[in-house]
Structure 1
Amino acid sequence: MSAGGTYKRLLGESGSGGLEHADGAGAPSPPDPERLITQLSDEIGWLEEHLRRKADQAARERLMRGAERAVRKVVDEGAEAELDSRDLLRLEAVVHSDGSRPVLFVEDDFFDAADPAAANWAASLSRVQAELRTVCRAVGRVNDPSAPLGYQGSAWAIDDGVVVTNYHVLEVISAHPSRIDGEFGGVLKPDVEVDFGGEVGGGPSDRVFRISRVLGVGREGAPERAHPTVPRVNFDGLDMAVLELERVRGRPFPTPVQVARGDDPATHGALASRGRGVYIVGFPGSSLSTRPDVFAELFDGVAGVKRLTPGALTEGRGEVEGDARNWIISHDASTLGGSSGSLVVDLDAEGRKVLGLHFAGVPDRVNWAHRLEGMTPELAAVVPGWGSL
């Protein structure tokens, strides 16, 4: 297996800091294996202190040995390095810890700037602290008591008591799901809910709301337009579901996020452009993960908690191959199963406009999101109060 996206991130961005830009000048310096392994060890040590628990020693030793072996393979063989799935998993842990594409725990609706992995991003993220806190509060975990890990994905507040997630998340929290022309057929499972807390250590307990009904779903793509190599991905369809939550007396819903709209005369639907800095908030690490969370091997129980992952858009409007509707953008922020339904937020401007709805990816290759500016008519049809600007 080629090193793919992980190799490019590791070789091209380790130690460089800041955001990735399409016109970045200058050749990257080769990675320093000793520095990268030290950073990984420092990150594990910080997590031990922060989580107040020791990492599984055997898992830590396996990770460190495997990471060093994989990094040295990249250094020695360059772009031609042949890496198996275990190599890529260990390299991903290095990327998470070296500052290029970290996975940061959300606590008290923010991230801990003292995390060594946050160093390259702390200034950019802190600059939009107020906006980031609003976004973090608006993201919830889709709880499903029947699921092995107790949840199925992520959702976020687009209106008062209304959340957006993926249709494929709705499918697994429903019985006999179907969709025809934006109408949902099926029955929600009992006791499915959205938990807007879900932080490491538990977080606030008064942010849980039962899902009461489905307001609308995205259209299904034509079967002949299905992705040729990635199962259940169809760029002709819209992997979206809009859900209404049940009110709880004395418990306010989170403030809805601001969504980039295609009918905004100030932006003309062009915010989601290649190279734009973004961050994602969601709940990586569900039972649907195609790639296990390497830190969950070390610290039992960290899966399924709210995390923030910064990155950049790698393809903008009209640049994703096979996207005839201009609905798809791609990004390189770190994601896992459970990230499905997460929001992709602009970081370069005010740090608050939601540009995309993450729905799928290929590990170490690409992550895809629906471009919300291209979905304005579909959202306006089902979200209360979403008329013209």
Structure 2
Amino acid sequence: MSAGSTYERLLSGSQGGGLEHAGGGGAPGPPDPERLIAQLSDEVGRLEEHLGKRADPAARERLMRGAEHALREVADHGGDARLDMRDIAKLEAVVHSDGTRPVLFVEDDFFDVMAPAAANWTASLSLVQAELRTVCRAVGRVNDPNSLLGYQGTAWAIDDGVVATNYHVLELISTRPSRTDGGFDGELKPGVAVDFGAEVGGGPSDRAFRISRVLGVGRAGAPERAHPTVPRINFDGLDLAVLELEPVSGRPFPAPVQVARGDDPATRGALASRGRGVYIVGFPGSAESTRPDVFAELFAGVKGVKRLTPGVLTEGRGEVDGDARRWIISHDASTLGGSSGSLVVDLEAGGRKVLGLHFAGVPNRVNWAHGLEGATPELAAAIPGWRSP
């Protein structure tokens, strides 16, 4: 699917609410640039009020002008629209603001239900408020004091004092990293930690824990199975690292989340199916993002804060081309650099089970995650005593 077709689908359906697969009326019309630009302007104004700071005027003007150009290109030409990376960045800002695939700031372990961008998703997310709060508390930023931005990705509590993230995130917080047969050879950099606060405005300051050691890592993919067009992607490998945290006296670890398992007799490893509503929690906004965080250009200080992004699974286990091991799923929730290691959570069955571990995306809205039902043996081998909740 071309980038033009992808954004035509998303933006044409933005009036219809959150879960696209839920059925409904006839085919939507083309995107309405004037309505969408007005919504984008309203969202920027809402953020100015909420954050207590003015958007950079020049950046705001560039955003509005570029978004209007890109929207008219999609409205006029649909799947044949000619879009470059700058156009896609502006369309992402529109998608984040019009309610289609919003990027919502996490505050007090929840999201701002009054944010205009949340409107299409507020009802479905609020139905699982207790579970969503547990998930948000369990997600942390992987801090690296030696890096340019001060962090390298996302990790989340999978067991008591144990977090899961990507192997490529572990590489960034290590010196001389290498792996063999599930074992890790390398040394953690000094001061690396997981901060389970890190919300907009600061958030709780007593949720950081140093990373003490590496419990296990996923296997490297066979070189001949490397993705034919996307560098450093190999569906034959498992981009997973399991890390143990150092306890702090008087400070409990966040409660671990529930993980969908392939050996669960009730679900038989089939929860992660195409069209299923999901949400992602993580820390988007790194300098290497394939999808620039336009709002971070408008407002200094919103990089590296916890955010929630809803969407749907676009491909289930066994449906992604080149996934012979059946441990890859894809989704269309908004992600950015820094989202690596984020969890993909089921929104439809109680809003609490983790279906996937996000590890990569490319600009025309292809996002890949490891379907954890397909990686259950590897997780069980890495976490001592790990069992289904």
TM-score w.r.t. structure 2 length? 0.98
1:279 pairs with 2:254: no
Per the alignment, in what secondary structure is the counterpart of residue 9 of structure 1? Answer: helix
Per the alignment, in what secondary structure is the counterpart of residue 14 of structure 1? Answer: coil
Distance 2:316 2:345 in 1: 14
Which residue is 1:33 aligned to?
33
Alpha-carbon shift at residue 2 of structure 1 (Å)? 4.4
The residue type paired with residue 263 of structure 1 is: D
Which residue is 1:114 aligned to?
114
The residue type paired with residue 325 of structure 1 is: R
* Cα shift readout 1:101-150 (whole Å, capped 9, x = no counterpart): 00000000000011000000000000000000000000000000111110
Change (3 A) 1:22 1:331: farther
**Does the 8 Å CA contact 2:103/2:308 hold for their aligned counterparts?**
yes
The residue type paired with residue 372 of structure 1 is: L
Change (3 A) 1:121 1:387: closer
The residue type paired with residue 88 of structure 1 is: I
Alpha-carbon shift at residue 287 of structure 1 (Å)? 2.4
Distance 1:250 1:22 in 2: 46
**Does the 8 Å CA contact 2:3/2:364 hold for their aligned counterparts?**
no
The residue type paired with residue 348 of structure 1 is: E
Which residue is 2:131 aligned to?
131
Distance 2:349 2:40 in 1: 31
Gaps of 5+ in 1: none
Distance 2:15 2:24 in 1: 14
1:98 pairs with 2:101: no
The residue type paired with residue 345 of structure 1 is: V
Which residue is 2:146 aligned to?
146
* Cα shift readout 1:197-245 (whole Å, capped 9, x = no counterpart): 0100110000000000000000000000000111111000000000000
67-76 vs 161-170, which moves further: 67-76
Change (3 A) 1:372 1:2: closer
Which residue is 1:268 aligned to?
268
Which residue is 1:230 aligned to?
230
The residue type paired with residue 9 of structure 1 is: L
Backbone CA RMSD of aligned residues = 1.3
Which residue is 1:3 aligned to?
4
The residue type paired with residue 28 of structure 2 is: P
Change (3 A) 1:4 1:246: farther
* Cα shift readout 1:292-343 (whole Å, capped 9, x = no counterpart): 2000010011010000000000000110000000000000000011000000
Alpha-carbon shift at residue 290 of structure 1 (Å)? 2.2
Which residue is 1:319 aligned to?
319
* Cα shift readout 1:80-105 (whole Å, capped 9, x = no counterpart): 11111111111111111110000000
Alpha-carbon shift at residue 365 of structure 1 (Å)? 3.0
Alpha-carbon shift at residue 34 of structure 1 (Å)? 1.2
282-291 vs 35-44, which moves further: 282-291
Distance 1:64 1:310 in 2: 24
Identity of aligned residues (%): 79
Per the alignment, in what secondary structure is the counterpart of residue 381 of structure 1? Answer: helix
Distance 2:3 2:387 in 1: 47
Per the alignment, in what secondary structure is the counterpart of residue 344 of structure 2? Answer: strand
